[in-house]
Structure 1
Amino acid sequence: MIAIDLDGTTIDEQGQASPAVRAELRRAQQTGHHLLVTTGRSWLTTVSVLDHLGVWPEYLVCSNGAVTLRRAPSEPGGYRRIHVTTFDPSPVLALVLTHLPDARIAVETEDGTYRYTHPFPPATTEPVDRQHIVSADELGSGPVARMVVIAPDRVFADFRAIVEGMGLRDVMFTLGWTAWLDIARAGVTKASAAESIRSERGFGRDRVLAVGDGFNDIELLQWAAARGGRGVAMGHAPAELLAAASEVTGSLAEDGLATVLAGM
């Protein structure tokens, strides 16, 4: 089972994968390896990447593990949501607004739609013309799969210090490369979702490979490497991920993912 992150691992900032990466992904799937996409993206923006890659894995792990989908060609987008883990966003929302009053916040609901306090970058949630802007009170009404917090005007180091000092409890939170924060129910990670699929499909723990480049891949690489599998960090990954990995490959610019796949 090959679990791959998308942004920064498979595709660049323009949503493009290199010819080498696309070729190796197709070869891996054609030779019988089980591809699993594990991403912080919403399911909608994840599915939009697959046509470009030319691969359609049986399972997708989206929203950093909160949403799992299975291939269903008859469904819109070609996938069906089979598992969603939710939490009450109200306490977290109050903390965020107290510590980051200038933040832009979005929540993903159980049915895969979003609500926003302000417009969001469309690449990872929804197109701008589909973004439903609401008040903070409405944002926190009802269970959600995840909350996304961005502060475009904040320096990352300052943003990180504020987030780590918030006192977030009973939730999982991961930082992005910029002033971007993902929040989900406690215990929900890419790794927890990948483990459920691994167990269901019967793959041995030594038959697992995971490749990633960001803070939200730390648990995934640790899980992959824990019992004889491989947890591979991209060469440009932050120090925390490099420390969690069992191997390091080249950077995105160096086709690090293609290098790993070519060796299988």
Structure 2
Amino acid sequence: MTKKMIMFDIDGTLLDHDNNLPVSAKEAVRLLKEAGHEVAFATGRAPYFIQDLRKELEVDSFICFNGQYVEIENEVIYKNPIDRELLSDLSGFATTQNHPLVYLGAEFMRSTIDYHADIEESLTALQIDTTQIEMNANYYNDAEIYQTLLYCKEQDETHYRSNLQGLNFIRWHEYAMDVLPLGGSKAKGIEKFIEKKGFTKDQVYAFGDNLNDIEMLKYAGHSVAMGNAPEEVKKVARYVTKDVGEDGIAYGLQMVGLLS
């Protein structure tokens, strides 16, 4: 079989609803690598949020921050930080709305507020250690920021979209949105990845489950939406597998012919 590139989202795709890695998914990744295929993560998470999973699955390549930061075998091959002027505008507007922000750099995350219940709840649900977050409202002046978490309700979205048109907003939680550079997506990260590795789009198999996966699923030659994905995500995918909690990864890989 010709070598393929398999891109896995993490939350709700590789990790189940309790943020555990199903045994069947771990075995599937092992078999893919054993067959000579390339496996990488394509996630909205920061690199420091996926260290344990990288170690468990022995995966050394990843696309983080929804496509803004690409690392292949410990070499950073692409970075797309958010413009500092836009971050300043975002910070100022969020302050007037009393909405906290969390800035995500390549090494650290910093918050505009010392503590907020919504930040605690959303990140703890992903098993992210919130004690890593220190307060630094001007962190965007000190480091390159690849993604920002904006904490606001859905009814507040239009205010940000209309006032900050140079940024892209993607909701991932009842309380929170990812803020990205305009045009930034997992698809762009994959484009840079396969350009470096010499794959074609038709050799790419992408698995995802949420709104931030839509561009990736549209881009990949072979796209698989998880059974737990919203309908608008399933509609753009070439295949729909079972729920992540029902061995959806292993089943999906069998559907597309990568596992028997």
| CA shift in 2, pair 1:196/1:83, >3 Å | closer
CA-CA distance at 1:27 after TM superposition:
0.4
Change in Cα spacing, 1:93 to 1:125, as seen in structure 2 (3 Å) is farther
Q: Is the 8 A contact 2:150 2:176 kept in 1?
A: yes
> Counterpart in 2 of 1:96?
94
Matched to 2:187, the amino acid is A
Q: 1:233–1:177: structure 2 CA closer, same or farther, 3 Å change rule?
A: farther
The correspondence for 1:67, drawn from 53, 66, 69, is 69
Q: How many residues align?
A: 239
The verdict on how the C-alpha distance between 1:197 and 1:259 changes in structure 2, with shifts beyond 3 A counting, is: same
List alignment gaps of at least 5 residues for structure 1: 73-79, 152-158
**Cα deviation, residue 204, structure 1:** 2.0
Which residue, out of 102, 107, 113, partners 1:112?
Answer: 107
Show the counterpart of 1:34: 38
CA distance in 2, matches of 1:98, 1:223: 37
Q: Contact 2:201 / 2:219 at 8 angstroms: preserved in 1?
A: no
CA-to-aligned-CA distance 1:7-63 (integer Å, 9 cap, x gap): 0000024431111111011101110111120001110111222233x2314x21011
TM-score, structure 1 normalization: 0.82
RMSD: 2.1
CA-to-aligned-CA distance 1:92-128 (integer Å, 9 cap, x gap): 22233334x2x3311023x422211244425769633
Which protein has greater RCO, CA pairs closer than 8 Å, 6+ apart?
Answer: 2
Fraction of identical pairs, as percent: 25
Q: Find the counterpart in structure 1 of residue 129 from structure 2.
A: 127
Residues 173-212 of structure 1 aligned to structure 2 (within 5 Å):
173-212=169-208
Which residue pairs with 1:22 in the alignment? 26
| 1:41 counterpart SS class | coil
Aligned to 2:148: 147
Gaps of 5+ in 2: none
- Please tell me the residue identity of whatever aligns with 1:112: E
Distance 1:98 1:125, change over 3 A: farther
CA offset digits 1:169-212 (Å, max 9, x no partner): 11222110432211111121111001111122121221111110
Q: Deviations over 1:60-84 (max 9, x none)?
A: 1011111112223xxxxxxx54432
Deviating beyond 6 angstroms after TM superposition, the runs of 4 or more aligned structure 1 residues are: none
Q: Give the letter for the 2:141 counterpart.
A: S
| Alignment partner, residue 155 of structure 2 | 161
2:80, 2:146 within 8 Å by CA — same for their partners in 1? yes
Q: Residue 222 of structure 1 aligns with which residue?
A: 218
